[in-house]
Structure 1
Amino acid sequence: MARGDKKPLMRLPYFLTSALIFVVSAGVCLLAAGFAVTKIEETSETAVRNALSMQGHEWAEVQADGLRVVLTGTAPDEATRFNALTAAGTQVDTSRVIDEMDIAPTADLTPPKFSAEILRNDSGISVIGLVPASVDRDALMDRLQKLDPKARVSDLLETADYKKPKGWDDAISYAILALSKLPRAKVSASPDLVKITAIADSQQEKERLEQELTRAAPPSLRIGLAISAPRPVITPFTLRYLISEDGGQFDACSAQDEKARDTIVAAAQDAGLSGPYTCTIGLGVPSPRWAQAAELSIRALSEIGRGSVTMSDADITLIAEPNTSPATFDKVVGELENALPEVFALHAVLPEPENNEQAGPVEFTATRSPEGLVQLRGRLGDDLQRDMIDSYARAAFGSDQVHSAARVVDQMPQDWPVRVLAGLESLSWLNNGVLTVTPDKVELTGVSNDEDAKAQIAGLLSDKLGDAQDFDLSITYQPPPEPEDALPDPEQCESRIAEVQETRKITFEPGSATVSSGSRDSLNQIAEILRECGPIRIEIQGHTDSQGREEMNQQLSQSRAQSILNELRARRVPTKSYSAAGYGETQPIADNDTEDGREKNRRIEFRLIRPEPVANQETGLEALETQTSATEPAPTEEEASETDAGDQ
């Protein structure tokens, strides 16, 4: 090469040049992509965070990871967590939102409403409801089984793992106690209310059960009683009305309802009814037109004059006085026969005039003394009749109580044994009395402790003696003597205590719960009354005037009520069924603007805790659950006491 010649430049190979360009381009792209991703992360995170803050979700944390937006934190509940997700979704696509949020524990949830419904009838005992898991179900089933060892006990209870509420054991114990007295009942028990729906055999049984169950309930427990007494089944359905020189009277009166009773009584009053009367409302009426037939029969008897009308189911017997005008008798009977409803059959009797030349009475008599001794005298048809009558009397009145002096006479009436036996059965209803049986009439006089005895006897004789029966009943009702150990009525106890306080008010030392010395005699009298009354449910209420702060007055009234309760305990009064409650200034009985009014408002009251009325159509815990769902959360003990006192 010549010296003056230039050396040619050295070139890179083509593949190296291409590779270098690719590397440089890739680097530039990566830088651009990284910048774009960072920008997107910052923008997304800021937008989501602002949206959550606007919705009040400061508890939520936001972290952007590429295109993903991760939400963390602890939401107070599921609804709040979902609301946070929704808020984030308004700023970025919902597919980019990653939910890693937690929910706060639900340990503070309100416990469920525990209740148990126990049904007892002839088929057995069943219990259903929700009870705390800590309840010993086996022990509960054993207690129910002891009510009737032969009954089948069905356990349909569910449990929840919550603490046993206050008052639960008292409610269940009282429910089982109630079921022990009620073979047909449904008892719904919850911690603060026990509802009892039951059927009693009679009105007297209903009243007795209500009093016993009210006394037995703990003072802190609200109870509701719905005990019904079904109408009795009357067999035969009987009515007997007599008109004598002394006026009209019922020996028996039956009606299917109140309207029918009023119709019958109105007819009797028009026919000269005098004195008190009873008319039993029951089941078994032979015809819906019973009242119409009774009204027509009574008015027909009134038109005749004197006599008796007896209705036994659909058979009507009208017996006139022997001296009744035959023309009048025939006219009235004819009109009555045409007017009576078709189902009723009339048997009318006009006796022959009395013959004063009778040789001697054909009769049988039985007397029962107040001590229960029974003497039988008179005539019977043969030895078989005498043995039969004597055996029946000893079975009815007791073998050691019967003395028989009846004699056998030939040619007695054919139905004589039936009349005598019916009369003896009627005599067994009386505490003491005299039975006289003649061929034409059965007469019974005496005394009974049963208000329905006269009606029952009239129905019995109507059924046994058949058509043309004639009998006279002169039965006096005397209330049964009170048992020596009978407890006074709770209302009487409340009234007697109020009378004591009217003359000697219970007072305290000023501003304290210490009973003044002048009130000791009043407390002694009240303690004596309460000991006689036995286990009644009493709330001792404390009240103040409006002077001072309301909170202080409430506390003072509670302390004074508790002080009275302690004083009664010191006087050996059983106070298990008593409670003390202070009402402060909330229930004034006089004007607090005067000294005399304030003095009246500062008082102690003794109030019966009465059962709450319960509608019969409600079953189970429906009323309780309706009340609970419509009110605020459960009241405090103080508020519950005020509510119970207000109901009284």
Structure 2
Amino acid sequence: MRLSALFTRLVVFAAAAGVCVVSARTAVTFIEERSVVGVREVLIDQGHDWASVLSDGLQVVLEGQAPSEAHRFRAMSAAGSIVDASRVIDNMDVVDSQSIAPPEFAIEILRNDSGVSLIGLIPANTDREALAERIARIADGQNVTDLLEVADYPVPETWQAALNYAMRALSDLPRSKISVSSARVIVNAITDSELEKAELESNLSRNKPSNVRITVDLTAPRPVISPFTTRFAIDEDGARFDACAVDSREALNTIMAAARDAGFAGNAGCIEALGVPSRTWGNAVSLSIGAVKELGGGTVTISDTDIALVAPQGTAQGTFDRVVGQLENALPDVYALASDLPRAPTDASAGPPQFTITRSPEGAVQLRGRVPDDLTNTTAANYAAAKFGKANVTMGTRVVDELPSGWVIRVLAGIEAMSQLSNGSVVVDPTSVVVRGKTGSETAQADISRLLIDKLGQTAEFDIDVEYVKELDPIAGLPTPEECVAKITEATTDRKITFDPGASSITSDTTDVVDDIADILKRCPDLRIEIAGYTDSQGREEMNEQLSQDRASAVLNALRSRRVPVSSFEAKGYGEADPIADNDTADGREANRRIEFHLIVPETAPEEPTALEEAEVPADDTE
């Protein structure tokens, strides 16, 4: 009996122990599963889907490759927020830092009246002292703020070329922002005038580095015109603008619509400028042009808020009064109208006094005509000498009495008008000024009109016929690089640069050829030119190649001594390569011993795809 009771107790105890073991295992399994699921969910929610979660008893094991130490730490922290941090086991790896792409070298440069500042990342092997000296020379005593950092990574092949181009641009642009990278240079700058803008664009377009994209955006502030002037006329030759200034594109459209309605055809040459006296400028000018049309001719001059309308001789008084009255009532309040109906002269027998200024294409200036006294004669001579140079002025004037009032002012205005022309003539008489000639300035006609209006008054009669000649324009007249090389080829067609036999010394009888080439190149700045040297086939090939190199270098040095900017030139010897004649004859060998000038054309860098173009590439089109 006692034995049975003991056995029963043992059985009950064993059963209870088994139940406890099963319950414990079930609880552990449940806890493990819930821990893994919870940790996995929080990692996915926080973007750590690269990590995998395993369980080892009550421990949670994290595995996988973390993009960085920061990502690994964030994954551990996320897991520790779900289970006790002591239960989290770190079996993660970090991606090898050597596989991370190197940073892009780039510099942002800002230059203004306060100095030069630089910020960005440059290669560790950059010569900082040389770069600092170069920036200091450009700053020319102004402050230099250097915030550049360095990184020791491989340097792209085009980095130095892009940096050199940016430094050249910076030296020419006192108010600029330049962004430099190995693949692209972006230049943004403000210039003082359209002329300076055109000149700088021409300079920056030369010597562009190959395989580097260059973007140049230069802006010029609109000029300030005072007085703000437009002059419109209709005569026997048709309708024309002697001067035209507008303050906006809308005003230009309004004025041109009125001018076309009055019979004008062509380019008015209107200048968009600052200084307009009223926002109603376009309306006032168009109304004034309409009045000239109604009169059937005449001139109208709008100078700031003053308007001078001159009708043609012979206009009926009634027509004149009607047109003037309509214009007075239609004009905005700010404008004042003065009108004139010239009367026919009563005595045409007496010849009026004249003063004539002529200028030849070579620059010789002659002053002929009447002056009232010696003081005026001296004043005219000195003024002309100041404008054209004393050695270029010839006086053919004579002193007479009883000249019209204001004659001195008309003479001096004529001299100043001539200074706007490269060559031509100005004829001054008591009632008009006639200007004829050629110029290299597209705005010369408008400039002369404003000058004569300012000096002689709004009702002054003058006739301007100025021809713009591109070759006389100091900017537009510059030859293209191809034209420069063509001129050198033409200059050396019938003569050549020769050297002492077997040497690299240029013979004295061909220095004139080098002088002519230097003169051509001085008008073609910033060209990339290769000076190529060639020999005949006599002698060893290595010796011929070295001789041709020495001769090409001698030509380069000769041009440098003549003050030709040769920093972008290259001298290269090709030896006996590329013969142009038969080396078996004396004449052929002489022809093959030569110097040639070749234009170095940079390779065009491929355009980078835009974000839109990249988005349009099909997903499966990996190539």
TM class by shorter chain equals 0.5 to 0.7
1:368 aligns with 2:368: no
CA contact (8 A) 1:223 1:611 kept: no
3-state secondary structure, aligned to 2:470: coil
For 1:485 and 1:445, locate their aligned partners in 2 and report how far apart those are by CA, in whole Å: 25
1:219-258: CA deviations, max 9, x gaps?
2112222222332222222211111122211111111122
Aligned pair partner of 2:390 in 399, 406, 415: 399
For 1:107 and 1:407, locate their aligned partners in 2 and report how far apart those are by CA, in whole Å: 91
CA contact (8 A) 2:371 2:399 kept: yes
C-alpha distance 238-106 of structure 1, shift in aligned 2 (>3 A)? same
Q: CA deviation at 1:457?
A: 0.3
Q: Percent identity?
A: 43
CA contact (8 A) 2:427 2:435 kept: yes
CA contact (8 A) 2:439 2:473 kept: no
CA contact (8 A) 1:243 1:306 kept: yes
1:359 aligns with 2:350: yes
The aligned residue for residue 479 of structure 2 is 486
The aligned residue for residue 595 of structure 1 is none
For 2:225 and 2:89, locate their aligned partners in 1 and report how far apart those are by CA, in whole Å: 81
3-state secondary structure, aligned to 2:411: helix
1:149 aligns with 2:140: yes
C-alpha distance 82-229 of structure 1, shift in aligned 2 (>3 A)? closer
CA contact (8 A) 1:117 1:128 kept: yes
Aligned pair partner of 2:120 in 113, 129, 133: 129
Aligned pair partner of 2:416 in 407, 425, 429: 425
CA contact (8 A) 2:62 2:88 kept: no
Q: CA deviation at 1:424?
A: 0.9
1:450 aligned partner, one-letter code: S
For 2:605 and 2:311, locate their aligned partners in 1 and report how far apart those are by CA, in whole Å: 57
Q: CA deviation at 1:335?
A: 1.9
The aligned residue for residue 371 of structure 2 is 380
C-alpha distance 198-47 of structure 1, shift in aligned 2 (>3 A)? same
For 1:56 and 1:202, locate their aligned partners in 2 and report how far apart those are by CA, in whole Å: 59
2:480 aligned partner, one-letter code: L
1:273 aligns with 2:270: no
C-alpha distance 249-98 of structure 1, shift in aligned 2 (>3 A)? closer
RMSD over aligned CA atoms reads 4.4
Q: Which moved further from structure 2: 395-404 or 124-133?
A: 124-133
For 2:358 and 2:72, locate their aligned partners in 1 and report how far apart those are by CA, in whole Å: 91
3-state secondary structure, aligned to 1:183: coil
For 1:81 and 1:368, locate their aligned partners in 2 and report how far apart those are by CA, in whole Å: 85
The aligned residue for residue 309 of structure 1 is 300
CA contact (8 A) 1:429 1:457 kept: yes
The aligned residue for residue 276 of structure 2 is 285
1:255-288: CA deviations, max 9, x gaps?
1122211221221222222455322222221111
Aligned residues: 480
2:325 aligned partner, one-letter code: G
Larger radius of gyration: 1
C-alpha distance 420-137 of structure 1, shift in aligned 2 (>3 A)? same
Aligned pair partner of 2:214 in 212, 223, 246: 223
For 1:334 and 1:294, locate their aligned partners in 2 and report how far apart those are by CA, in whole Å: 16
CA contact (8 A) 1:256 1:285 kept: yes
- TM score, norm. by length of structure 2: 0.66
Aligned pair partner of 1:185 in 176, 180, 190: 176
For 2:214 and 2:101, locate their aligned partners in 1 and report how far apart those are by CA, in whole Å: 25
Q: CA deviation at 1:60?
A: 9.9
CA contact (8 A) 1:319 1:470 kept: no
CA contact (8 A) 1:382 1:409 kept: yes
Aligned pair partner of 1:294 in 285, 293, 307: 285
The aligned residue for residue 326 of structure 1 is 317
1:332-367: CA deviations, max 9, x gaps?
112212221122222212222113344332232222
Matches within 5 A, 1:450-529: 450-480=441-471, 486-487=479-480
Q: CA deviation at 1:628?
A: 13
For 1:214 and 1:310, locate their aligned partners in 2 and report how far apart those are by CA, in whole Å: 41
Matches within 5 A, 1:17-56: none
Aligned pair partner of 2:333 in 319, 342, 345: 342
Aligned pair partner of 1:390 in 378, 381, 400: 381
CA contact (8 A) 1:431 1:448 kept: yes
1:455 aligned partner, one-letter code: A
1:439 aligns with 2:446: no
Q: CA deviation at 1:211?
A: 4.7
For 2:78 and 2:352, locate their aligned partners in 1 and report how far apart those are by CA, in whole Å: 110
The aligned residue for residue 521 of structure 2 is none
For 2:62 and 2:351, locate their aligned partners in 1 and report how far apart those are by CA, in whole Å: 117
1:428 aligned partner, one-letter code: S
For 2:54 and 2:600, locate their aligned partners in 1 and report how far apart those are by CA, in whole Å: 57
For 1:470 and 1:575, locate their aligned partners in 2 and report how far apart those are by CA, in whole Å: 52
CA contact (8 A) 2:300 2:309 kept: yes
For 1:229 and 1:327, locate their aligned partners in 2 and report how far apart those are by CA, in whole Å: 49
